[in-house]
Structure 1
């Protein structure tokens, strides 16, 4: 099939586009043309690149026509953030494409009520911010579109995406490099809350696997949404303990109030920590396993360790080389 990937040069596309090429599809990548995939792969030489500024074309009302001109069988939309933008694309593709796959987010869900969180269950409070509200509205619109006999759609909701080429969400739910330094050198780490709050990561290649499976199993994926995460989630305490052990250390955690934590770190890091830990989310992947055959290759700590090694090797984190306890991280299937 001819598959058009919108925003295929980022986290997910780095792994998804080569997978689709290896599966025998003709792949077209639409991007602004300002970045390349995080990891080079020979399959990219077979990909047609189309430069387009989606934000500008959405404002002009022509982005749907840009996608249609490429005559896609399948469209994978990795960079849609508003209901207005998603609706315009659906209206352009209706009757002209076979399948639209949208990248949502687990932040369509708010604070946890019951764990693990399942699709369609009353497991969380409503979304907490505009990003999550828009992702929730998009997912609901797409589900209704397919249920009413319109365009076949599928929504994939990833957890906190991890992989080589970018910083992972760390044990305090933020991107502060000082967290890794404290764990690597045995310094005390100030932890807000109880330390039992949960975060659910996913390796970018496991996420790419889910998109590929949904394309290959269109009937099973039609009109559905799927939470795509690692097999397990990490608590703050557990995450810190595992990470410290990579450096031959034992995590020393100092429990502080949120007020004390905010006073001791930058506002952006504090806000990110609150956003992740206040939600305290853990998801089930049983629906994706049953309907799509989803089989993640990475536990969350394996994905984070791979990311840290890349950052250290490329000079983006000044830390000793971490060593895993037990087996090496799994190699993603090819």
Structure 2
């Protein structure tokens, strides 16, 4: 089949695109520039690059140009607004499309209620990002029920892997926290350290997308979490990192306001708040039963691979 992957050289696409090529699909990778994927693979030599900038396109233009590619399958990894989703559905509705896969996020859930969280639970997003993802999810399911539009929604957790800053044990993307642990220094965790993160390897997220394509009939009209088997508390995560570097753990707990005072960086504070306010554990039973999802990476394997990359590529020296 002809598959268009929008944002195909990013975290997820770096793993998904080679899987599609090796399965025999004709793959077109759409991005605003030609950058190197995070994972090298000879399969990229068989991928057709299409340069399109979603942000610079006028209203509806980007989606019309995607429709003009006449794909059987469109994987949309960088759609952040319901208006873009509506425009995409309108544009693709007149083509012979068989499957549209939309990348949402567990952040569409917002605050946790019952645990583990299921895809169909009521959602309470905390910010505009999560709100737009939720609106797109609801719209796609409505279009499937009313018109049969072939949509599937995939909801990744904290996407991690070698080559980018993953979420650290205090809930933000400051990779120098790992360096403090590596040096055996003390780190401060907000509150009691019981809030949770749900890391997932980008390769496993790509597996959910790929399996949804393979099991198309079971995936149509559905939402699936793309996370690992387990979540981890900030405290447990910090402990694991001290063990990883062979250091005695030095962890202190501070009330939120005191932690903010010593952290100071507003971006890190906001990122931590948004992560720990959404603490939860997200069920993958639906993905296991309907599309045969089986995570290949444990949570700790995932973060250790990512941190090992930072050490090997001397990130801490340049930090």
State TM-score, norm by structure 1.
0.92
- Which residue does 2:289 correspond to in 1? 290
Matching of residues 14-163 of structure 1 within 5 Å: 14-57=14-57, 59-96=58-95, 97-122=97-122, 126-163=124-161
- Which residue does 2:254 correspond to in 1? 256
**Aligned residues of 2:109 and 2:125 also touching (Cα < 8 A):** yes
- Which residue does 1:237 correspond to in 2? 235
- Which residue does 2:273 correspond to in 1? 274
SS in 2 for 1:5: strand
Deviations 1:73-108 (A, max 9, x none): 000000000000111011011141111000000000
- Which residue does 1:226 correspond to in 2? 224
**Aligned residues of 1:14 and 1:38 also touching (Cα < 8 A):** yes
Question: What is the CA-CA distance between 1:166 and the residue it aligns to?
Answer: 0.4
Deviations 1:258-315 (A, max 9, x none): 1111111111111111111121121110000000000001111111111111122222
Aligned counterpart in structure 2 of residue 212 of structure 1, from 205, 210, 213: 210
Question: What is the CA-CA distance between 1:194 and the residue it aligns to?
Answer: 1.3
2:64, 2:187 → 1: CA distance?
Answer: 52
1:117, 1:189 → 2: CA distance?
Answer: 30
Structure 2, unaligned runs of 5 or more: none
**Aligned residues of 1:155 and 1:226 also touching (Cα < 8 A):** yes
Larger mean CA deviation between 33-42 and 299-308 belongs to 33-42
2:258, 2:143 → 1: CA distance?
Answer: 47
2:315, 2:10 → 1: CA distance?
Answer: 18
- Which residue does 1:331 correspond to in 2? none
**Aligned residues of 2:80 and 2:132 also touching (Cα < 8 A):** yes
Structure 1 residue 187 corresponds to structure 2 residue 185:
yes
1:151, 1:174 → 2: CA distance?
Answer: 37
- Which residue does 1:326 correspond to in 2? none
The number of residues matched between the two structures is 316
**Aligned residues of 2:17 and 2:27 also touching (Cα < 8 A):** yes
2:59, 2:150 → 1: CA distance?
Answer: 26
Larger mean CA deviation between 171-180 and 69-78 belongs to 171-180
Structure 1, unaligned runs of 5 or more: 320-334
1:246, 1:177 → 2: CA distance?
Answer: 15
SS in 2 for 1:54: coil
State TM-score, norm by structure 2.
0.96
**Aligned residues of 1:95 and 1:151 also touching (Cα < 8 A):** no
Deviating 4+ runs (over 4 angstroms): none
